[in-house]
Structure 1
Amino acid sequence: MAKLYGSIEAGGTKFVCAVGDDNFQVVEKVQFPTTTPYETIEKTTAFFKQFESNLMSIAIGSFGPIDIDPHSETYGYITSTPKPDWAHVDLVGLIAKDFNIPFYFTTDVNSSAYGETIVRHNVNSLVYYTIGTGIGAGAIQNGEFIGGSGHTEAGHTYVALHPSDAANDFYGTCPFHKGCLEGLAAGPSLEARTGIRGELIEQNSDVWDIQAYYIAQAAVQATLLYRPQVIVFGGGVMAQEHMLNRVREKFTSLLNDYLPVPDVRDYIVTPAVAENGSATLGNFALAKKKSEHVR
């Protein structure tokens, strides 16, 4: 019997479901919009039912906040998300009830971080940020996720305001915090400042330097807190090459040689896994690890 492992990348915009083999090669993959919990979970279950006889385990990397404490009454739940209809949804329980296999549950950025360590030679301490419609980060130190009673929420750390935002009394778009990284640097902040969707803004616009200023602060925070070998920036905002170079330049200026870091071109990078596949690869590996642990 060929062993298969399942991956669910549960995003706020779309779900990406896949099954992979022992070598973490994708056997089949599907994606669909994140609509209501009932409709989305029904599609998820139907996809994996096709492979049930060979499926050893499933790993879920989800948007959050989520409860990852196995001893908690709400383990497996999406908790206080602002996404309509998804707050306090028992994501793991609603999927797992239809399968007699182990499940692994973490954040989508943790899954991506884990996937990135698999393809990077001799890297076992890494921070992965996604900069898209929201901002999240997963940190791995010596091969283990950072987190205690719950997962980190690096997207909601406070950052110093850019002088332009301070002059315009712009404190971001986050409904919870004024002046947090997500509110000031996620995709919606671009349109909030300019009235133009991010993908339509010219590369020479000053707004990109404002954006890079905040993302560079995130890199400085990660450096000071975790001392990783690599910082990976994924997500739609960082898909443009000019953004990566801007962030590197501002990071170098902000850190000001306080700590030794590798060459910035090797230290601050974009994902090594093609086609946004970091989370899927990470989930395959986490699912395999989970299945071997419970034998």
Structure 2
Amino acid sequence: MKELYGSIEAGGTKFVLAVGNEDLEIIERHSIPTQSPTDTMPAVIDFFKKFPVQSIGLGCFGPIDLNKNSSTYGYITNTPKLDWHMYNIVGVLEKELAVPVAFTTDVNAACYGEFVAGAAQNLDSCVYYTIGTGVGAGAINKGTFIEGFSHPEIGHMTVNKAKGDFYEGNCPFHESCLEGFCAGPSIEKRTGKKGEELKEENPVWEMISFYLAQAIYNTTLFLSPKKIILGGGVMRQAHLLDQVKDKFQKMMNHYVEYPNIDEYLVLPSLGENSGTIGSLALAKEEKIRIHK
């Protein structure tokens, strides 16, 4: 019988729970709303108690503490979700379920899924952006997450404002950051409609693609990844990727050579399963690491 592993995508809106096997095949999936820890965590624990999982991969909204030498390793830290502020999510899971937990950001988990089984498979570097309720990115080089004293917050890079964009931004921390200008809530506040309700011709897409092209430009010059993947709800607009590609190429103006644009800048090949597959892969590796 194949060993089972657990996956948790802990997002700001919902927790997506899954169990899969050592071949990263998803066996069962369950979604619960993100409420307070008192409401959410018992449901998480009850779900996994039904399965003999060897370990769990947790991709979590943040900021989170990934420094294993820190007294608050495994905590959700300065999140605006006050109920979760300084919450020891890894500690609770390991205590209640008695299995090891591989801990990373939600977007790192999605990045890893595409790296091991998706659009960046067989490459040694990639960057994954999610553009949805917020904007975040995970980066891998030589098979390892790029991290320093903490995880990167690429979604809050400063960008130049688009001409004709009089929106002040949706980020409470920064005046001119990527997330504040192109995350889903900024689209709705500019137009009064959700992105999926807007036509391709709406001028807001020119602005959104301009901001995303800047992010791709900066990422290319900083990291030179072999592939950049754009996921999240905002990218479900069929026309948006081509607009980003066009603006990025004009910004770069042949300064550096990069892979063919249609192979370099892509959508996730795992669709909505990127984070789940990535978390299962991290769980499997955590179990192997512990038993070495």
Shorter chain as denominator, the TM-score bin is: over 0.9
Displacement of 1:202 after TM fit?
A: 1.7
Displacement of 1:204 after TM fit?
A: 0.4
Cα pair 2:107 2:138 within 8 Å, conserved:
yes
Deviations 1:229-283 (A, max 9, x none): 1000000000111011111111111111111011111111100113x10111111
Displacement of 1:56 after TM fit?
A: 0.9
Among 30, 47, 57, which residue is 2:55 paired with?
57
Instruction: Give the match's secondary structure for 2:72.
Output: coil
**Residue 142 (structure 1) aligns with:** 142
Displacement of 1:171 after TM fit?
A: 3.0
Among 222, 228, 232, which residue is 2:229 paired with?
232
Cα RMSD (Å): 1.1
**Residue 160 (structure 2) aligns with:** 160
TM-score, normalised via structure 2 length = 0.96
- Counterpart CA distance in 2 for 1:46 and 1:146 is 33
Among 230, 240, 243, which residue is 1:243 paired with?
240
**Residue 47 (structure 1) aligns with:** 47
Amino acid corresponding to residue 144 of structure 2 in structure 1: E
The answer to whether structure 1 residue 191 and structure 2 residue 199 are counterparts is no
Point out where structure 1 has 5 or more consecutive residues left out of the alignment.
none
- My pick for the range that moved more, 35-44 or 84-93, is 84-93
1:202-213 alignment runs, 5 A limit: 202-213=199-210
Instruction: Give the match's secondary structure for 2:59.
Output: strand
* Stretches of 4+ aligned residues off by more than 4 angstroms: none
**Residue 33 (structure 1) aligns with:** 33
- Counterpart CA distance in 1 for 2:121 and 2:38 is 41
Number of positions where the alignment pairs a residue of Structure 1 with one of Structure 2:
289
* Aligned-pair identity (%): 47
Displacement of 1:197 after TM fit?
A: 2.2
Among 277, 283, 289, which residue is 2:279 paired with?
283
Amino acid corresponding to residue 189 of structure 2 in structure 1: A
Deviations 1:105-128 (A, max 9, x none): 000110111110112442120000
Point out where structure 2 has 5 or more consecutive residues left out of the alignment.
none
Instruction: Give the match's secondary structure for 1:30.
Output: strand
The answer to whether structure 1 residue 13 and structure 2 residue 9 are counterparts is no
Instruction: Give the match's secondary structure for 1:210.
Output: helix
**Residue 288 (structure 2) aligns with:** 292
- Counterpart CA distance in 1 for 2:122 and 2:25 is 21
Displacement of 1:102 after TM fit?
A: 1.2
Among 179, 185, 190, which residue is 1:182 paired with?
179
Displacement of 1:196 after TM fit?
A: 2.1
TM-score, normalised via structure 1 length = 0.95
Deviations 1:181-238 (A, max 9, x none): 0001101111222222222222101100100000111111110111001000000000
Instruction: Give the match's secondary structure for 1:71.
Output: coil
Amino acid corresponding to residue 292 of structure 1 in structure 2: I
Cα pair 2:196 2:237 within 8 Å, conserved:
no
Cα pair 2:116 2:122 within 8 Å, conserved:
no
Instruction: Give the match's secondary structure for 2:239.
Output: helix
Amino acid corresponding to residue 288 of structure 1 in structure 2: K
- Counterpart CA distance in 2 for 1:84 and 1:9 is 19
- Counterpart CA distance in 2 for 1:6 and 1:103 is 9
- Counterpart CA distance in 2 for 1:49 and 1:121 is 32
Displacement of 1:146 after TM fit?
A: 0.3
**Residue 101 (structure 1) aligns with:** 99
- Counterpart CA distance in 2 for 1:215 and 1:194 is 18
Among 250, 253, 256, which residue is 2:253 paired with?
256
The answer to whether structure 1 residue 71 and structure 2 residue 81 are counterparts is no
- My pick for the range that moved more, 68-77 or 87-96, is 87-96
